Amino acid sequence: MLPAQLEQWLDRAVAQLRCRAAVQPVKAELKAHLEDQYEAFLAGADSPEQAARKTVESMGDAVLVGGRLDEVHRPRSAWGPFLWVAMLFVLGTALRVFGELRLGPDGSGEVASLLVRGCVPVAVLAVVYFGTDLVAWMRHTWLICGGALALVLGTALCTPTINGARIYARPLCGFLVLGYAAVLYRQRGKRLAGLLLSGAAIVPLLLAALYLPALSQAICILLTGLVLCLYCGWRDWFGWGRGRSMGLTAAVAVGLPAIGCLSNPHLVERMLERGNPFSDPAGGGWLDLLRLTIWQGKSPLQPLTSEWADRVPENLFQGLTEESLFRLLGSDDPLTWSAHALGRPAALVLLGALIVCLVLLWRSVLRVRSAAGRMLALAAVAFLTAQLLLEPLNLSVPFLSGGVWSGSVQAVLAGVILSAFRLDPAKGGQEPATVRDWLHRDGKGWQIRLS
């Protein structure tokens, strides 16, 4: 029987495999290599602790070994989820084209541009899913996190601000959750130190989102981080015990927003104004009221009912035209625009299709074999779900909203989910290489071949 240290290395290496058919044979062969190396060190007069430590060092990093073996046993692509997500991107583009055509001849000139821009997210989705293997990137944890943070801040510094907001960098906040998932994955088995680092690592991501400023994106990052930490606690990821891990995670989830609100009272005041159009006539609360009016079946192009009319300054909605309504809601909120243009039943069908898509992605995440891939996919699908839940805060609707920036980021997140989830058997149906093809023995023991 292997010592606990070697069993942990073995479990971590095998956890990188996505192909279920390859798990048992790979695990058996790796275990044989570990036993041979361990016994060789014991025969050299090493103590059991020394022999276990030297065996782990000779085998190399478990994530690296498992990641290379996953490339060998890479499962084939899953076309169903890919086509479903691609269909939603196409549907979102079709809604924007419909809106432009409905505006008349003046709006038809944008159709060609919309069609070209609408193809970009589908192309990005295909490239990420079929052309890259993001699961293998998990051995470069800090590079993923640092690269995502540098991309967001670099875009914020290099692009102009519009009304004081760095709108081009806001959609890129979705990449931050991938970096956070990579950091979380590397804390496996590190007990309290890993748990504390996991809680601290999300702080710079939240500060980056608030710097843009993008309060709604910061809330999405916080909710995604909470989901990831609760998952890690439930699976006893840190080796600190399920109860302790989840208790501390809940304390951090409550403590971080509380500290932020106490340290910046203006933030709380702004949030309250943001949701109340009568205390902040220039704020986004009017958009929420407009959405509510449409979903209640009232026309936003007519004065509101008497209960609102005396409180709306200068009959704000009375002068709203079809074109201005589409400019306000057609791009970022296709659901409300569809409720106005096509009727509430059509909007509910569209919302149902979006929910089905997210359910399929959640189902795919729960079936992911690779532990690294599951962390990345869980972060991506949790962030997309948070975007849908917080859509009234002027967030883009996942997969449906127009725009090259937001659509491309969502396509990358969806591609990460689909890349982590692939079907058995191994791609191409060929007999996969054995572990021995990727390992060689030298004076220091078994080493992984990197070329």
pLDDT of residue 440: 46
- 29 found inside a domain: yes
60 domain residue, yes or no: yes
* CA pair distance 137, 189, nearest whole angstrom: 20
Asked if the structure places residue 67 within a domain, the reply is yes
Per-residue burial over 327-365, b if 16 or more Cβ lie within 10 Å, else e, is ebbbbbbbbbbbbbbeeeeebeebbebbeebbebbbebb
**What mean pLDDT do residues 108-136 have?**
76
Q: pLDDT, tens digit, for every residue of 128-169?
A: 887 776 656 666 777 888 888 898 888 888 888 877 778 888
What does the pLDDT read at residue 33?
Answer: 80
Domain boundary among 266, 297, 320: 320
Pairing mode, strands 423-426 and 439-442: unpaired
In a domain, 368, yes or no: no
Q: How many domains does the chain have?
A: 2
pLDDT of residue 433: 40
**Are the CB atoms for 114 and 93 separated by under 8 Å?**
yes
38 part of a folded domain: yes
Quick one: pLDDT at residue 448?
A: 43
Which residues span the domain enclosing 67? Answer: 4-74+431-448
pLDDT of residue 334: 85
Which is nearest to 88 in space by CA: 287, 345, 360?
Answer: 360
Would you tell me the crossing angle of helices 371-389 and 215-234 to the nearest 10 degrees? 140
Residue % of the chain over a pLDDT of 70: 75
Higher pLDDT, 259 or 244: 244
The tens digit of pLDDT for each residue in 362-375 reads 887 877 767 777 88
* Residue 311 counted as domain residue: yes
- Residue 24's pLDDT is 78
> Of 320, 339, 355, which residue is a domain's last?
320
Of the candidate ranges 115-129, 231-245, 346-360, the one whose mean pLDDT is the lowest: 231-245
Within a domain: 12: yes
pLDDT, mean of residues 56-71: 75
Evaluate whether residue 315 is within a structural domain.
yes
